[in-house]
Amino acid sequence: AIVISVPAAILSALSAAARGGVLFKGGGALETLAEVDIFAFDKTGTLTTGRAAVTRLVALDGDQAGFLSLLSGLEAHSEHHIAAAIHREALARDLQPVAVTDVNARPGIGIEGRDASGPVWAGNPYLAQAMGAPLDHPALQSLAEGADTVVYLGRGAQVLGAVTVADAPRGSSAPALAALRKGGVRRIVMMTGDNEKTAEVVAKELNIDQVLAGVLPKEKAAKVKELQSTGKTVAMAGDGVNDAPALAQANVGIAMESGTDIAIESADITLLKGDLNGILKAKKLSEATMSNIRQNLFFAFIYNLLGVPIAAGVLFPFIGILLSPMLASLAMTFSSISVISNALRLRNLKL
Ligand code: ADP
Ligand code: MG
């Protein structure tokens, strides 16, 4: 009965989780999640829907159609949510993407390639800076003042224009975060490759404690390590290729079902249907599982604690009782039954 105390509870909990739209890869996360001190979230595609839309467009030479055709031709080679938004905008305007070749993704900052006239690039201010392209044109500065993410398109050191892209928080984000906090989580962190301004707007809306913006993909795992360095247990939720190392580094990695395969592979938990309330369910289940395991161990030990001394004859000198082998094996069975039926209660836990 002692041997089955832990696995019985975990198996029951896993089946309750699956019913609640939360897939655990194994029992480990069930044991750790209850102790998490810090929850870290990727922004784009995790706290937000990841289904962005183009909100403004500035073509410095005034040719919006030509500008968007080139930008969408370049972004056609990217799987980034920004690329998808640009693609949808070009479709909506009936524009044909320009043929772009020799495409190179620049993770966390943008993308570059080559059209008929030479090298082109699209991305954030870091990429513009790397290309030596100044962003001081008044029309571009006005775009950068808003809260939306700005994507610049350029040719070498010359900026051709920019679009802004906006992405709204998931409906489940605010209630799920509020409930986590109510459930005793003391620190909620948002980590994003996006710029500070866009990040701050989302953070304010969701009441997030700490914002790490402009984090490059390769830095995300190091940031998780930093959060862990003070002995804290850290859970990280994300969806992108760039989140995968951070999900693996975290004590508990949580992926969105809508996310990339590599994120799901690196995570301990996958949330089905993009519902962040799944994190709450998982945490609740983890807490219930740990207390269930403690009860099981109690059941398992109490039979032994009473049975073993009686079998050994402690009562024999006083009242002449010994544990007959038949009763002993009956007690053994009862102990296992108690443990299993207690563990099975977890399957019906309301999540
Ligand atoms: P997040 O952490 O928010 O999921 P990423 O690390 O994927 O963000 O991207 C960070 C930033 O890099 C984006 O906000 C964008 O400015 C820029 N970027 C990345 N990929 C592209 C792309 N294909 N086109 C334009 N900009 C991009
Ligand atoms: Mg993301």
SS3 252: strand
Backbone torsions φ then ψ of 153, nearest 5 degrees? -115, 135
Angle made by CA atoms 187, 240, 238, in degrees to the nearest 5 = 20
Residue-wise pLDDT tens digits, 241-251: 889 999 999 99
87 ligand 1 Cβ < 6 A:
no
CB < 8 Å & 24+ apart, contacts of 79-86:
80/111, 81/44, 81/45, 81/50, 81/51, 81/52, 81/167, 82/52, 82/149, 82/151, 82/165, 83/111, 84/51, 84/52, 85/51, 85/52, 85/53, 85/54, 85/165, 85/167, 86/54, 86/151, 86/163, 86/165
- Per-residue pLDDT of the chain in tens (351 residues, 90 and over written 9): 778 888 899 999 998 998 889 999 988 999 999 999 999 999 999 999 989 999 999 999 999 999 999 999 999 999 888 999 999 999 999 999 999 999 999 988 999 999 999 999 999 999 999 999 999 999 999 999 888 999 999 999 999 999 999 999 999 999 999 999 999 898 999 999 999 999 999 999 999 999 999 999 889 999 999 999 989 999 999 998 889 999 999 999 999 998 889 999 999 999 998 889 999 999 999 999 999 999 999 988 888 888 888 888 888 888 887 778 888 888 888 888 988 999 999 998 888
Residue-wise pLDDT tens digits, 1-54: 778 888 899 999 998 998 889 999 988 999 999 999 999 999 999 999 989 999
CA of 150 to the centre of ligand 2 (A): 16
192 ligand 1 Cβ < 6 A:
yes
CA of 259 to the centre of ligand 2 (A): 8
CA dihedral 243, 245, 250, 251 (to 10 degrees): 130
> Using CA atoms, how far apart are residues 83 and 74, in angstroms rounded to an integer?
9
CA of 218 to the centre of ligand 1 (A): 13
Q: What does DSSP say about strands 269-271 and 22-24: parallel, antiparallel, or unpaired?
A: antiparallel
Residue 348 near residue 16, CB atoms below 8 Å:
yes
Residues with CB in 5 Å of ion ligand 2? 42, 44-45, 239-240
How far is residue 238 from each of residues 43, 45, 46, 53, measured CA to CA in Å? Answer: 8, 8, 6, 21
